[in-house]
Structure 1
């Protein structure tokens, strides 16, 4: 697949204080609902070194790549996604989403 066709979604998740480990566990448990979608190219969870300035909770970033924006939007409005979100919602205190298109990729040597 050409890099310039990859549609990337980045979520910034604010997690309630003390709930980071449980959030990570549940994210791993429900991740199949995303990565088994035929249009999904992969998903990553990262914990930031920053702390939520509002409540001292953890900040996480979820990045997922999709074959196209329409394919992601179809997933985003599906029952599959709604169920996924409902399982993660109890851990969240807030968040935001950014979408983008990958325009270049330089593979590393490691």
Structure 2
């Protein structure tokens, strides 16, 4: 199945030691600030199995212009402000999904 031009954003976040649980809970509690946006297709939080305190947030968007619109919004600023105290560093990568294939269990 084609990726249908899905725009994917992946954040890598380094969380201050000892703040991981609170970060996870806060991320979950305010997640609808992202998923409630009409252009958002979903988001996921994953914890690195190899690096202590490293998390990855992946979110899918209908297209890049709508993501960029959200990125400049007050809603995004509020979301970032709530998560900022937990972060000691991070980076963002963007990409376009070329193909999407569902597994047998979905």
Q: Which runs of 5+ in 1 are unaligned?
A: 52-56
- For residues 39-50 of structure 1, the aligned pairs below 5 Å read 39-50=39-50
Matches within 5 A, 1:92-107: 92-107=87-102
| In 2: Cα distance, 1:39 partner to 1:31 partner | 14
Cα root mean square deviation, aligned:
1.0
Q: Is the 8 A contact 1:50 1:58 kept in 2?
A: no
**Structure 1 residue runs of 4+, over 2 Å off?**
none
Per-residue deviation, residues 61-98 of structure 1 (Å, max 9, x unmatched): 00000000000000001000000000000000000000
Q: Take 1:95 and 1:48, find their aligned partners in 2: how far apart are those partners?
A: 13
Instruction: Note the C-alpha offset of 1:49.
Output: 1.4
Equivalent residue runs for 1:1-110 within 5 Å? 3-51=3-51, 57-110=52-105
Task: Report how many residues are paired.
Answer: 104
Unmatched segments (≥5 aa) in structure 2: none
Q: Deviations over 1:14-38 (max 9, x none)?
A: 0000111000000001101100000
Q: Supply the distance in 2 between the matched residues of 1:8 and 1:106 (Cα, whole angstroms).
A: 15
Counterpart for residue 54 of structure 1: none
- SS class of match (1:3): coil
